[in-house]
Amino acid sequence: MAVGRHRSKQMEAAAGTVAEAPPAANRRAGAARGPMMRQYDLVDRVRAYNPDTDEDLLNRAYVYAMRAHGEQTRASGDPYFSHPLEVAAILTNLKLDDATIAAALLHDTIEDTEATRGEIDQLFGPEIGHLVEGLTKLKKLDLVTREAKQAENLRKLLLAIADDVRVLLVKLADRLHNMRTLEFVPQASRQRIAEETLDIYAPLAGRMGMQEMREELEDLAFRVLDPGAYAVVTERLNSLAERNRNLIGEIESQLLSNLANHHMTAQIKGRRKRAFSIWTKMERKSVGFEQLSDIFGFRVIVDSVEDCYRALGIVHTAWPVVPGRFKDYISTPKQNDYRSIHTTVIGPGNQRVELQIRTREMDEIAELGIAAHALYKDGIGSPTELLKRESNAYAWLRHTIEVLAEGLNPEEFLEHTKLELFHDQVFCFTPKGKLIALPRKANAIDFAYAVHTDVGTSAVGCKINGKFAPLASELQNGDEVEIMTSPAQSAPPAAWEQLAVTGKAKAAIRRATRAAIRDQYAGLGRRIVERLFQRAKMDYADDKLKGALPRLARASIDDVMAAVGRGEMKAADVARAMYPDYKEERVARFVPGGAKKSKVTATAAKAATHPQNAIPVRGINTDLPVRFAPNGGAVPGDRIVGIVTPGEGITIYPIQSPALKDFEEMPSRWLDVRWDVDESTPQRFPARLFVQQVNEPGSLAQVATVIAEHDGNIDHIHMSRRSPDFTELTIDLEVYDLKHLNAIIAQLRAKAVVARVERVNG
C-alpha cells in the first residue's frame, strides 16, 4: 500500500490540490468531527477489493470535487466536501467500481457548484457525467406543492436508476450519510427528511435486497420521528441483551456442536432485531415487548444449498419446531433475490430461537442486495447489463418504473410508488403453475393485473383453489387463482381502484377509467359538433378540423371533442375555427311556467318534431356521460331537454321542469335530445312522487305494496308529518317509462289511505 500512497501524494502535488490543507475556517469547523479522509485513504479502500483500480481517476475526482465545493460548509459546520467523501466511503464497503466511487465524489457538483454536465463529461467521461446528472435534482420546477416537487424529483431519479443501477446505490449512500448527520439540520427539515426516508428510501433499499442499509435508514428515521419510543425500545433491547448474554453464547455453541456431530462446518452469526423492526411488530400485532419471541436470531452460514437442507434436518431433529414458523425462500426466492430458509425452534432454556440457514453467497446478497451483483465480472458487461440478466429485484424495479411513469400526476405517482415499495409478500399460482408474488392483503383484482393488464381489465370473476370467489377476496400463500374474463368488458369498474392494493392495479384501473370517461366525453362532443354543422348546413370533416387545431389550442381531434363534451369549449368555437365567417344562430327558447319564448328554448319543444337533429338518450349505462335531473329525474315518454354541465356531461330534464329557468340565459348549454330506448333490453329510469297518506297503521305498507306489485323499484323514501292526520312521503323510484309511472300513480290514487299523489319535477 505504501507505493500507492506515495503515488497519490505525487499526483496531489502535480495537480496543485489543497487536499492536505483545507481552508482554515473549514479546518476549524471540522476539527470536532475528526479529520477528513485523504486521497490515499480512499484509494487504499478501493484497492483492497479491486487491485486494478484506476487511481488516477479517483484522485482527479477527489481534487475536482474539493475545489468545486471550495469553502462551502454543511449545517454541522464541516467542510461540505466531507459529505461526498463519506458517501464514497460508504460505497467502498459495498465494493463498487471506480466509476461509481468517482460519481459519489462528484454527485453534488452540478447541483450545488458552478460545475456543468459538459465539464464533467470532458474531464471524467460521459459514463460518469451520466451518473452525476441522474443524481441531480430538478431545481426549476413550476409546481405548487412540496409533494409534487418531491414526486417529480423521485420520478427523475427512478428513470435514471432504470437506466443505470449505480445511480440508486449512490443515492442510497447519499441518504444514509445525510441521515447519520441529521441532528444538525433544522427541526422542520429534519422531520420531512426522516419521513421521506421512511416512506421511500428505506423500503427502496429493502426492495433491492440491501437489508443492512434499509435497517439503518429505518432506525435513523425512527429516532427522529418518535424519539421517545426509540429510546424506550433501545433501552429494553440493551437490557435484554445484557441479561441473555450467556444464553446467546450457549445457543451458538450448541448449534455448532450439533452440526459438527454430523460432520458439517458452519459459521454462526447472532444478531438482534433493530428498534424500528421491534416497534413496528409491536404496533402491527398489538403485543408488548415481553411477548415478542424473535428479538434475537441466528444465521447459519454453510457451503452449499444441499448443506442448507441438511442443517435444517439436524436442527429440527435436535430441537422442537414452532408450528407455522417455517419458510423456504431458497425454493421460492423473494422478488428482491433474497434466499434463505427460516425456521423457529424451542432451544436451550425453553427459549424460542429464530434461525436463518443460507449459503455464503446468499448471505452476501441478503446484506448487499443488488450491490452484490454490481461489480464487473471478468471485465465483460456493465453492472446494469449484469443485473438485467441476474437480478429479479432489478427486473421488478424496471417493470415498476415503466408502469408508474405512465400517465400519472405527481401526487398519484408518489402514492403508487409508496404502495409498490412497501409490503411483505404472498405467493400465489396460476392454473398453469406460474408463480405470482403479491403484497400482503392483495386480492384477485391485483392478481389479475399482475398476470397482465388486459387480464385485469377484462376480469369478471375468479376461482380460488377451484371454488368461485369474489374478485375482492384477499389471497393467501399458496392459493391457486384462475381469473375469468369477458371480451364484453372493455373497462374495469371505477370502484375497483379502492379495492386494489398494488400500485400497478390502481394505476391501470385509473388509466382505463379515465380513458373510458374521456371516450364518453369525446363521443358526446362529436355528436354536439356534428349536429351544429347539420343545423348550419355546413360540411364537417376531421381533416378540416385537423387544420384548425392550432386555433383551438388542442393537440388532437379527440382533445377538441372531449373539451366540447365536458363543456369546456363551445361547438360554435369549433365551427368558427374551421369557418371564420360562421355566425352563431340565436334560437328562441321555450320555458315552462309562462316564461317569455324569446328568452328560452324552442329547441326543446322542436326536438319532438325534428328528432333527427337530437342526440339519442338510452340511459345511464351508455357511451355518453348522461345523468338525470337530480330532483325528479326523467322517464321515456317525457319531452326532454339536455343541459351541458362542464365536467359532468349531460343532465336530462323533462320539458316541464321548473329547474330549466336557471339556464334560460345560457343558451349554449342547451342540447336537443330524444329517447332511443331499446325495448328488447328494458332499463329503469328515475322519477319522484309526492304522496300524502292518512296517518294510520299499515298505510306505508299499502303504498309500498302498490309500487312493488306494479314492478316499480323504490330507491329512497323521505317521510314528514305536517298535521296529526296525514303523513307526507317523497318517494324516489325507478320505472320503465311514463306509461308505467302513470299506472303506479293511478293505483296509488285508488287507495283509501292515499289522499293525494303528484309527480315531482325538480
Q: Give me the active site residues, please.
A: 111-112
Angle at which helices 227-243 and 245-260 cross, to 10°: 60
Q: How many CB atoms lie within 10 A of CB 18?
A: 14
184-194 burial string, b = 16+ CB within 10 Å, else e?
A: ebeeeebeebb
CA atoms of 499 and 585, how far apart (whole Å): 49
The set of cell numbers assigned to 372 is: 452484490
Helix (H) or strand (E) holding 271: strand 267-272
User: How far is residue 549 CA from its own chain's centroid?
Assistant: 34
The set of cell numbers assigned to 758 is: 303528484
The residue type found at 722 is R
Largest CA distance in the chain: 112
Q: What SS3 state is found at 238?
A: helix
Q: Which residue has the cell 451518473?
A: 131
519 CB-near residues (< 8 Å, 6+ apart): 623
CA atoms of 692 and 755, how far apart (whole Å): 5
The residue type found at 345 is V
Q: How many CB atoms lie within 10 A of CB 674?
A: 18
Q: If we measure between CA atoms, which residue out of 355, 268, 372, 359 comes closest to residue 318?
A: 355
376 CB-near residues (< 8 Å, 6+ apart): 97, 382, 383, 386
The residue type found at 247 is L
Q: What share of the chain is helix, strand, coil (3-state, %, to 5)?
A: 50, 15, 35
Helix (H) or strand (E) holding 616: strand 615-617
Q: Are 477 and 532 in contact (CB under 8 A)?
A: no
239 CB-near residues (< 8 Å, 6+ apart): none
Q: What SS3 state is found at 120?
A: helix
Q: What is the DSSP letter of 204?
A: H
What length is written for the chain? 762
CA atoms of 673 and 650, how far apart (whole Å): 10
CA atoms of 169 and 294, how far apart (whole Å): 30
In 466-614, the DSSP E strands lie at: 467-469, 481-485, 589-590, 601
263 CB-near residues (< 8 Å, 6+ apart): none
Q: Which residue has the cell 426516508?
A: 197
Helix (H) or strand (E) holding 689: strand 685-694
Q: Are 71 and 126 in contact (CB under 8 A)?
A: no
Its sign, for the CA torsion 436, 438, 442, 447, is: negative
CA atoms of 499 and 473, how far apart (whole Å): 10
The set of cell numbers assigned to 296 is: 434475537
Angle at which helices 392-404 and 503-535 cross, to 10°: 20
The set of cell numbers assigned to 104 is: 459519489
Q: What SS3 state is found at 296?
A: strand
Q: How many CB atoms lie within 10 A of CB 390?
A: 15
